[in-house]
Structure 1
Amino acid sequence: MSRRVWAVSTAAVAVLIAFALAFALAPDGDDAEAESSRRAGTPSADDRARGAGADGSAVSATPSPAPLPADADPDVRVEQLVDETARVLAAPTGVDDSTLDRLATIARDSALGEVRAALQEYEANGWRQKGRPRLVDVTVGRLRKNGTVVMVRACVDSSRMKLLDEGGNDLLAGKSADRALNVYRLEREGTSAPWLVVAHRFPDDASC
C-alpha cells in the first residue's frame, strides 16, 4: 500500500486511514512498546444540510452526532478518530468549524493536521469516501512518562471502503491492501486528563 493511501484515507488515517489518504510520520522508536492487547452506507458528514434538492423537494437534516466521551480509553479514542475521519470524508464539502472543533476533542498536532490535509485534498479533487474502515485488532502499549503517553497499534481493515471520484469511480479498486497496521501516539496532560491522538504513521512492515 502506498504511504499516502489510508489503511483509511488514512492516515485512514486515514486515515486513513487506514484512514483513504494518510501521511506517514517518521518512526519514533516506540513500536516495541506494545504490550497489552484489547479486543479482537456511511452516514453523511453534512449534518447541517438544509434547503431543497435538485428537484425542489425538501432535504431533511441529518441529526447531529452524539458528543464524544471525554474519558475514552486509548483504544477507544483511536477508534473514534477512525470513525470521525470516515464520517467527515464521506462529505468533505459539508465540513464546517463545528466539525473541526469536534475532531479537536480527540486529536491534535500532526494527527489532526493529517485529517485537515485529507479534507482539503478530497475537496479539491471532488473525492468522497464511502464505507468505514474497521479496527480488527488493537494493541495498547505500556503507559510511559508518568502515564501521559501511550502507543496504540491497530490493524485497520478497509475492504468495505471506497474512495470515489466525481464520476463515482472507486480510485482504490485493486490498488491497495485490504488491511494495514497503523501506529498511533496518544498523550494527555495528566492522569485525569483526556487522551488525545497526536501522531499517526505506518510501520515499515504494515501487514497485519
Structure 2
Amino acid sequence: MSGNFESYRREYTAGGLTAEDLSASPIAQFELWLEQAVKAGLSDPTAMALSTIDEEGRPWQRIVLLKGLSEGGFVFYTNFGSDKAKAMAVNQNVSLLFPWNELDRQVIVGGVAERMSLTESATYFLSRPRESQIAAWASRQSRPIAKRALLEEEVRKLRNKFADGDVPVPDFWGGYRVQAQRIEFWQGGEHRLHDRFRYVRAEDGSWDVAQLQP
C-alpha cells in the first residue's frame, strides 16, 4: 500500500495559549492540562510515547503509562530486562510525548531517567491488580517467544505457585522517574499558527520559559 498524504489537513480550532495562561511551574501547568484531558473523556490521557537511544545510537519509541507525577519527575514502570530499560542503562537521556490530539495539544518532556528506590517500586507493585502482578512475573519483556501459548502456560503456572499468598515483588521489575530538563506545551492554532511555550530548567532549579515560533 502506498499513497500521497500531502493534501490531508485540518484546521486546529480548539483554542489558543498565551503567556498569561501559563503557570510559573511546568509541572503545575501539566497537571492542569492532564486534568482537562481527563475531563474531556480522552481514552488514555496518561499514555505517553517514551523515546530512548540504545547503545548503538538507535532511537526507539513505545507507549507507556504515566503512573506518578511530582516536582521530582514523571514516573513509569517496566521490566529491567526490556529494551527500554537496557537503553536507559547506557543513555539516561529520554523524551516523553503526550499526544492529546482531541484537544489539539501535545506536551513534550526531555529529561534524565533514573531508577526509583525498591521501596517506591514495591509500594506501587503491591497496589496493582493481582493479574497484573502475575503478568509482570510471567513476561520476560522484549525477549522472543515461539508462540503466545507458552506465555499463557507460564501465567497458569504462576497462578498456582502464588495461589496461597501474596504475589512477591519481582527483582527484575520497577519504576523510573524522568527528571525533566525541558517541557514544551503545544496548542494547535488556525492556519498553522500554533502556540508553543518551552520551559527550561535553570542551574538553580527554577524554570525559564520562552514562546517559540510554530
Q: Which TM-score band applies after superposition, normalised by the shorter structure?
A: under 0.3
Give me the TM-score of the superposition, normalised by structure 2: 0.27
Greater strand share, structure number: 2
